[in-house]
Amino acid sequence: MNGTAVSVRGLTKRYGDVRAVDGIDLEIGTGEVFAILGPNGAGKSTTVEILEGYRERDAGEVSVLGTDPRHPTRLWRSRVGIVLQTANDTAELTVRETVRHFAAMYPSSRDPDEVIAKVGLTEKARTRLRQLSGGQRRRVDVALGVIGDPELLFLDEPTTGFDPEARRRFWELIRGLSDDGTTIVLTTHYLDEAEALADRVAVIAKGRIVAEGEPATLGGRASAKAAVSWLEDGGRRRIETRTPTATVLELTARFDGEVPELTVTRPSLEDVYLDLINASPDSEQRPS
């Protein structure tokens, strides 16, 4: 990474008396894959829509690729790709016609057939959009988001409706874009997706960031106690320890080698995420 793609200070958005976004600070580096996690109504979609220039903020400073999205220019728009949760389009066009149409709008676009292949729609390239399944239609959304070869790509729940093979192919596409220097801001409810793709994650709850860091260390995950479990005397034994290696060595000596049904686990990203959002104060409901 070299430089900052997104900088946010004191971002606030109110709806009446409710603060949907309550003083958020963010720094996203150029070339970073940054995931924003949070339950429905937490404020993550509002935050991202402000960064995209779709929604006005009430307070705070925002810079996206050096520009305030409140005052977007045509050049700035060409540098940003967006995959929304839902999209409206011309259902009578084929997949290839749609992708080629959008490619023509950008000064420097990717090859349409290459992008169609990347999202797994080569066999459906001549199919009209209205004939696609929901998951296939979602792949078209992703294709339109990346066709302009953006410097910054916003992905809002991009793999909803994808089958496992399509999700893995999409992950490869995102890794390739990141390797080429594209900055990616991802919102997703799939925590395995965030863990597989993100360099860093932020968890938003009740309009505030409650944790930020690498997926492997978020919320003290790397230093949390590990659960060591094994079978002994016909029953399952389990202890929690901060020194699992020492515990396994002791068990190995006790059992003279192989420990029956041994497992060692630390809290998953999902475990940490649920603890963070459930521990967040202020239980009022907020717009997303």
Q: What is the pLDDT of residues 178-231, one digit of tens each?
A: 888 899 999 988 899 999 999 999 999 999 999 999 998 888 887 788 899 999
Please name the residue that has the structure tokens 């292949």: 117
DSSP state of 109: -
| C-alpha to C-alpha distances, 191 to 39, 161, 177, 272, nearest whole angstrom | 12, 15, 20, 11
Whole-angstrom distance, CA of residue 273 vs CA of residue 275? 5
Once rounded to an integer, what is the mean pLDDT over residues 97-116?
A: 92
Once rounded to an integer, what is the mean pLDDT over residues 25-29?
A: 95
**What is the helix, strand, coil percentage profile of the chain, to 5?**
35, 30, 35
Would you say residue 263 has pLDDT above 70? yes
**pLDDT for 87:** 61
* 124 band by pLDDT with thresholds 50, 70 and 90: very high
Q: Pairing mode, if any, of strands 235-241 and 226-232? A: antiparallel
Burial class (CB in 10 A: 0-12, 13-18, 19+), 199: middle
**pLDDT for 262:** 94
Report the range of poorest mean pLDDT among 16-20, 156-160, 203-207. 156-160
> Rounded to two decimals, what is the model's pTM?
0.81
Could you please state the CATH topology (level 3) that the domain comprising 1-79+150-166+177-219+267-288 is classified under.
Rossmann fold (3.40.50)
Residue 205: strand pairing partners: 208
Whole-angstrom distance, CA of residue 125 vs CA of residue 121? 6
Query: Which two three-digit tokens encode residue 154?
Result: 């916003």
Report the range of poorest mean pLDDT among 49-53, 86-90, 229-233. 86-90
Domain layout of the chain by residue ranges: 1-79+150-166+177-219+267-288, 93-148, 225-265
Once rounded to an integer, what is the mean pLDDT over residues 73-78?
A: 91
Quote the longest CA-to-CA distance of the chain.
71
Would you say residue 233 has pLDDT above 50? yes
